[in-house]
Structure 1
């Protein structure tokens, strides 16, 4: 979806990508803007406030923006990943506790009103403290055993809010496993749903290896899943088997890729085990930080070629582009033009915009909005 902007509704794009990484609550707005024609802030904000899309822990036990259908369908599939997180998070010491009682208490509290994890820890401590005094550990356990939606205004453009949580089933009025992505073929339901998720992943990011699927989802045991699927196999230049759905157009190595601005935590950077196909090894540390942040990047010819950020001073918003290497004049011009469009979207309330390259050369001139 990065070779050209698509004429597609935001919800359809979110489902095509099998969700969008959303640790940074507003990053999907830029991710959709860079992929879709005519995308507006309200296109996503209305999905969240209308409960057609939600933010919830899914793949790799990290927060994703997904459709309501995918929330209910995918959470059971990736639950083993979240269970693994529970065992290694420190909350695993509650393994002998009656987690059903903890779950029931937490659900009752959050159905009264949405709670932050800090508020939930206090309330659980008050309710269950005689037996399990560590309310914070109880709250961490609830994050794993209850599918929790971060409710608006969190994630709504122009709004500000702490992350407050409600059980997904209560928020959406439907049970887990209720959705077209849950799989409806005969046989083992969980296996069917996992296979469906793999097919959708390949539709968005294929061709890909089994290792790629594992890194993207956090799931293990996927080799046995792909053996049940009707897939096309390729070999890359290193002999690694790449799989894809039948009929998918093979990648065109000479396809022209326009410059693009990707937000923090963009799916493209998190969907493959071998990231050398999009970023050079020597640049990874500048993008993937030691504290888990994945920085906003620029793409040139389909490869990560630098970083970007927007700095605000008074009524002026300046897009700072930090390339990893010198850029050809035509590429600089293309980035400046696309950067002006990005500022018009991401800094629409500023009265003036500027694009500045952090490579010692003269910045682009400021313009009024």
Structure 2
């Protein structure tokens, strides 16, 4: 399905900012699950970054509110999401996300044949994880003992290279247990992470993997479109050929439609062709691996000029916290915390107007509110490297 809609970069950026609560933060009382759902998940490998991603998008929210949503009312779940990385996801959407993510081809294993798990072994491990965690909170070591007891000694062989160490073989598919809905994080026990099985409840359940993928793609295009199959594949770490075929099937079914994005073919959800007239406006500070920059494409428009070299770590978005000016990356920043205070160093890559300088100051104050510390703004060079 093809339309005559022509979309500019400014219009696309403005709509993405609106839909991800960056043009205007969510009002007081908006459920954090709604904000996380609008982003299709909040990257949470570092929890403080996830707290900032949500807090900078929602009026009055602090890190305590995020942790309450995680550990008290459990409206958010910390588990493995897109790309097999740790995310905060809306609990009510876990069935949909599980059905979609488990339907994505994983590609060839990066491990040698004598290290890999077979598909049968992988399925055994995922089942064992779910059984072990049902109604329990286990540390990684405790979970490893349970998995080996339920499968066999082969699962515990320390053959998986990771961070200058060797992990048990079964951990190759730990993220797949998250996708399958048999594992999520629990509250820390002291300094150790714990894992449990997501609680069941009244959630929207997909009619099947095919339907889930259709909803998932349209949700992605709603948040980050217009986009191409290659953009989607990169965001999801999925095979590009599979993504192209999937988009073709959805187009044939009338679920998505083709448009012209900066003169080239791209896709939007069917009927979702309204865009703002002008560009995004305002100054924003976004943390490591914020969804807006990780999913935002094309990279050279989102990271214009000097930002392409300065703010992309080896070509990967998210390795630096970024300064957004009018919807595009215009600098990097870093915070150094000392007790109840933090120094926020911002390195702009473009001249800021007096209004933008005021907005930057307000954003730094907001960082302090979210993290419950007193912030100090320093404008100057960020001396630390990526993901420091």
Asked if these proteins are the same fold (TM beyond 0.5), I'd say: yes
Aligned to 1:283: 307
**Within 1, Cα distance between the matches of 2:304 and 2:315?**
20
Q: Distance in 2 between matches of 1:359 and 1:118?
A: 42
1:125-172 Cα distance to aligned partner (Å, 9 max, x none)? 566554555151123234424545443335xxxx974432223xxx31
What residue in structure 2 maps to residue 4 of structure 1? 24
User: Is it true that 1:151 corresponds to 2:185 in the alignment?
Assistant: yes
1:196 aligns with 2:215: yes
Instruction: Name the structure 2 match of 1:363.
Output: none
**Distance of aligned partners of 1:285 and 1:54 in 2 relative to their CA distance in 1, 3 Å threshold:** farther
Paired position in structure 2 for 1:41: 63
Alignment TM-score, normalising by the size of structure 2: 0.75
* 1:163 match: secondary structure: strand
The alpha carbon displacement at 1:260 in A equals 0.5
Mapped to 2, the partners of 1:166 and 1:336 lie a distance apart of 41
Which whole-Å deviations, capped at 9, do the CAs of 1:57-115 have from their partners, x for residues lacking one?
Answer: 1212222211112222211211144x626833569622176444434443343337433
Alignment RMSD (CA, Å): 3.2
User: Structure 2, unaligned stretches of length 5 or more?
Assistant: 1-20, 159-167, 383-388
Q: From the two aligned structures, give the one with the greater strand fraction.
A: 2
Aligned residue for 1:76, secondary structure, equals: helix
Distance 1:93 1:341 in 2: 46
* Aligned 8 A contact 1:308 1:322 in 2: yes
Equivalences for 1:285-324 in 2 at 5 Å? 285-290=309-314, 294-313=319-338, 315-324=340-349
Cα deviation 1:268-327 (Å, max 9, x = unaligned)? 112144222311265345434359762211101111111122223455322111122443
- Contact between 1:215 and 1:273, CA under 8 Å: does it hold in 2? no
Matched, 1:67 2:94: no
Q: 2 CA distance for matches of 1:327 and 1:359? A: 15
Task: Go from structure 1 to structure 2 and tell me whether the alpha carbon gap of 1:245 and 1:32 turns closer, same or farther (over 3 Å shift).
Answer: farther
Decide whether the 8 Å contact of 2:124 with 2:151 is kept in 1. no
Deviation of residue 247 (structure 1)? 4.4
Query: If the length of structure 1 is used for normalisation, what is the TM-score?
Result: 0.79
Work out the CA distance in 2 between the residues paired with 1:238 and 1:267.
25
What does residue range 246-261 of structure 1 map to in structure 2 within 5 Å?
Answer: 246-252=271-277, 254-261=278-285
> Structure 1: 5+ residue runs without aligned partners?
361-369
CA offset digits 1:174-223 (Å, max 9, x no partner): 5xxx842x444xxxx21111111112222222222232222233343322
